[in-house]
Each structure stands twice: as C-alpha cells, then as structure tokens.
C-alpha cells in the first residue's frame, strides 16, 4: 500500500478517533485537536540537543505539510482543527518520551536537553 492509499485509510480511522501511522508520522484526532507525532533519529536522548530537536520538529512539520498538499481529504479533515506537532524519543523500543510539542506557534519542552552538542 502506497502513502496515498494509506492517507485515504488514515482519514477513515481518524474520523473514528483512532490514530494511524502514515510513513514516519503518527496522526491522531481528538475532537478539535489534531496531533502529528514523529520520532527522533537519536537513539539516546542524552545525545540530542535542543538545536537538533528543533530541526527534527521542523522535519515533522514539513513532512505533514507535504501530506496535506498531496491529499485533499486530509486537508479538508484538518480544517478548523488545532494542530500540535510532537517530537518523541524512543530509547527502549517499548515506550516513547515526549521531547517537545509545538501548538499554536508555542513551543513546549517536555524533556530537558543540552543547548548545543
């Protein structure tokens, strides 16, 4: 199944308030809130700096922007929703740690990181 087909299927799941993975992003809908979640490429959070986390968060935003540009159903579905972009880390392969969230142009750090590496 290609990404276009997955996006069509994702919209059907999202309409039922179920999350759905499309490529490297997890999409979740909860009433008027829409979450776009991606994971850091860094295996160990202590190796991640704030600067690199912001780069990864922007990659998540750009990837989602491409998704909505290429899928009319998804674009319509997210109209009038508050979109939150979330970067998570996954050190153990069993659970995720939220690193930061951007919502309403406000960046919220959930994990303490080094300023620069």
Q: d(Cα 45, Cα 70) in Å, to the nearest integer?
A: 33
pLDDT tens digits for range 47-56: 888 999 999 9
Cα 26 to Cα 32, 51, 73, 112: the distances in Å are: 17, 23, 17, 23
Residue ranges per structural domain of the chain: 3-109
Is 3-109 in CATH node 3.30.70?
yes
pLDDT tens digits for range 12-62: 888 888 899 988 899 999 877 899 999 998 888 888 889 999 999 999 999
59 phi, psi to nearest 5 deg: -65, -40
Cα 4 to Cα 1, 7, 21, 42, 72: the distances in Å are: 8, 5, 12, 28, 10
């Amino acid at each position: 199944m290609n990404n276009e087909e997955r996006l069509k299927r994702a919209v059907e799941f999202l309409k039922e308030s179920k999350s759905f993975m499309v490529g490297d992003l997890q999409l979740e809908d909860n009433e008027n809130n829409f979450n776009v979640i991606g994971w850091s490429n860094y295996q160990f959070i202590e190796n991640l700096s704030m600067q690199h986390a912001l780069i990864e968060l922007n990659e998540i935003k750009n990837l989602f922007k491409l998704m909505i540009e290429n899928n009319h159903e998804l674009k319509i579905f997210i109209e009038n929703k508050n979109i939150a972009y979330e970067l998570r880390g996954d050190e153990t392969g069993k659970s995720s740690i939220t690193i930061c969230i951007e919502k309403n142009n406000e960046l919220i750090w959930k994990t303490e990181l080094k300023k620069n590496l």
